[in-house]
Amino acid sequence: MAIETRETFAALALRGKLSYSEAKFRGVVQDLFPPSHILLPQINQIYELDLAYGEYRHLSDDELIRRGAYFKSVNETLTHHFRICTNTPDQVNASARQDRKNFFAANVFAVGYATHGLFPYRGKFHPQMIKAVMNVMGLKPGDTVLDPMAGCGTTSIEASIMGINSIAYELSPFASLMTRAKVGVLNIDCGNFPALLKYADDIYRRFVPHEKQIAVQPSLFQSGEATDSLPDLTLAFPKLSEPMRELLLLCYLDAVGYASRRQGKTPHDLFPDLLSRYLAAIRAFNETREELGLTLGQAQVITGDARRLEIPDESVDGVLFSPPYSFAIDYVENDRPQLQFLGADVQALKQSMVGLAGSGKTKQQLIESRVSRYFQDMETIMRHCQRVLRPGRYCVIVIGSNTNQTGGVSLEEGLVEIGSQIGMPLEFQIMRQIEGIRNTMRDEFLLFFRKPEGRDTSNNKGT
Ligand SMILES: C[S@@+](CC[C@H](N)C(=O)[O-])C[C@H]1O[C@@H](n2cnc3c(N)ncnc32)[C@H](O)[C@@H]1O
């Protein structure tokens, strides 16, 4: 019997097509960029190439050198981003887990540079990506960007480095503290760092008996204020600046949190090492800032509710934020010890936290109520964003795709729908795959909404 031979689907699909070996191979990077523009190493996802291409299209060569996120050099001049990142000291403790060490080693240009690595806040932005997004949004030095849910201040840090002014709104007083400290020390005199390290133990002890006092007495460590238990520090450093004082508090809170995750270690054991890593990172950035002659953008940090944004109409040149992944991360529980230390009303905070509010007798009812509250809150916030944006400018929302915890509802699709209803339609989107085995999210969407040029014809009442 004759055996019928059929061409496979793959063979049919490939018939007549040249393989790479038959054609002269040319990589996509060579097609996108001229030889004068060298990409950074460690670019390995398509969204990064998309953003690099966006930067290349939007910025002049000089702007790419000063503000580009994905280039190593342009016309043989090293970019500022490359120089900032390569001058950043190792951010990982020698005794840290190997997967943490591997992560930082594989992401030298992406995450731990400047002051981004100072506190491990969950769900924070990818800083390199945020820099590129601001470039694609057309933001320039002197412009103002708003992050209404600022977390630990990634947008403000990047904006400052790029000479862009920023407004960071954030509900959690602990996250606001992080933002103020991490942005504040971008421009600081590091002359007293050796002495601070020498007195690390005294600094630590100073926090312990004064837990309540620290929250209400912002002038601690300033001239003449600190008294009994820290005479040496007061004598040696009579005028620690406000950002430095908050940085020390952040470092102390970091040590407390870190000790709760490490067996057999007390905050006291961990504080000196953390402080020395904090100061090394700050010093390195400040040295590079001086070498590059950077003029930093101004950052305003407001502890407040994004649903009641008190910012004038049409006063910002861009909005960039990521709403909480509260379905996956309970920020209030996560930061409970630090929030309590700062005297925050944890219960009240939970009620106002987007994504956490809602109730129901069954799990299903709880999810439905949370999702519905989430969209109500996000609509209110997006209306504010539309209101405060100047015409023609972008509002970019970065959101993780997470249908597991929302009963199958796609959050990104809901936001796109809201955007079209309030007169701020989606112009385009970029998708990013989230790596890492411990992440509950698979993809992240960068949604570029744009407020139309000219008169506002939307039904936005600006609640
Ligand atoms: C995904 S995180 C933002 C992380 C930030 N992009 C970063 O890089 O650190 C979302 C933030 O929204 C804040 N948030 C939640 N509800 C809020 C509200 N009603 N107003 C302002 N901020 C809120 C949370 O405290 C959390 O810090």
Q: What is the pLDDT of residues 373-429, one digit of tens each?
A: 999 999 999 999 999 999 999 999 999 877 777 878 889 999 999 999 999 999 999
| pLDDT tier for residue 240 given thresholds of 50, 70 and 90 | confident
The residue whose CA has the least distance to atom 12 of ligand 1 is 149
What's the pLDDT band for 223 if we cut at 50, 70, 90? very low
At residue 65, the 3 state secondary structure works out as: helix
Residues linked to residue 383 through DSSP beta bridges, in sequence order: none
Residues 177-182, mean pLDDT to the nearest whole number:
95
- Within 8 A by CB and 6+ apart from 311, the residues are 146, 167, 384, 388
Nearest CA to ligand 1 atom 5: 151
Which atom belonging to ligand 1 lies closest to the Cα atom of 125?
A: 8
User: 306 alpha carbon to ligand 1 midpoint, in Å?
Assistant: 9
Tokens of 256: 């407390």
- Is 364 a residue whose pLDDT tops 70? yes
Overall average pLDDT of the 246-267 stretch: 85
Q: Which amino acid is at 95?
A: S
Rounded (5°) CA angle 167-171-172:
115
Ligand 1 centroid distance, CA of 133 (Å):
18
The secondary structure of 36-55 as a DSSP string is TEEEPS---SHHHHHHHHHH
Q: Based on C-alpha coordinates, what's the Rg of the chain?
A: 24
Mean residue pLDDT of the chain comes to 85
Q: Nearest residue CA, atom 10 of ligand 1? A: 324
Q: What pLDDT sits at residue 66?
A: 98
- Summarize pLDDT for 70-125 with one digit per residue, the tens: 999 999 999 999 999 998 887 777 667 777 777 777 788 888 899 999 987 777 78
Residues with CB under 6 A from ligand 1: 121, 123-125, 149, 151-152, 154, 169-172, 175, 305-307, 322, 324-325, 331, 352-354
Q: Are 403 and 328 in contact (CB under 8 A)?
A: no
Residue 269 main-chain phi, psi, to 5 deg: -60, -40
Task: Quote the tokens at residue 440.
Answer: 């509950």
Q: Of 309, 317, 314, give the one whose Cα is nearest residue 394.
A: 317
Ligand 1 pocket check: which of 122, 149, 352 to mutate, most ligand atoms within 8 Å of Cβ?
149
Q: Which helix (H) or strand (E) holds 146?
A: strand 144-147
DSSP three-state, residue 449: strand
Task: Flag the least confident range among 90-104, 127-141, 195-209, 437-451.
Answer: 90-104
Q: Tell me the percentage of the chain whose pLDDT exceeds 90.
A: 53
Q: What is the pLDDT of residue 288?
A: 97
pLDDT value for 224 = 33
Scan for tokens 């996000």, then name that residue: 378
Of the candidates 181, 303, 198, which has an alpha carbon nearest to the alpha carbon of residue 248? Answer: 181
Q: Answer yes or no: pTM beyond 0.75.
A: yes
Q: Please check whether residue 128 is in contact with residue 69, taking contact to mean a CB–CB distance below 8 angstroms.
A: yes
Length of the chain equals: 463
CB–CB of 374/355 below 8 Å? yes
Calculate how far, in angstroms, residue 229's C-alpha sits from the geometric centre of ligand 1. 36
C-alpha separations of 251 from 200, 245, 267, 280 in Å: 11, 10, 10, 13
Average pLDDT on 57-61 reads: 97
Dist. CA 344 → ligand 1 center (Å): 16
* Bridge partners, 395 (sequence order): 319, 449
State the Cα–Cα distance between residues 444 and 434, nearest whole angstrom.
7
Instruction: Provide the pLDDT for residue 334.
Output: 83
Amino acid 439: pLDDT: 59
In order of 151, 254, 256, 343, 402, the CA distances from 172 in angstroms are: 8, 16, 18, 11, 23
pLDDT in the model for residue 306: 98
> Which has more pLDDT, 262 or 148?
148
Mean per-residue pLDDT, 152-164: 98
Residue 229 has pLDDT above 50, yes or no: no
Concatenated DSSP letters of 334-401: HTHHHHHHTT--HHHHHHHSTTT----SSHHHHHHHHHHHHHHHHHHHHHHHHHHEEEEEEEEEEEEE
Task: Please tell me the predicted confidence (pLDDT) of residue 60.
Answer: 98
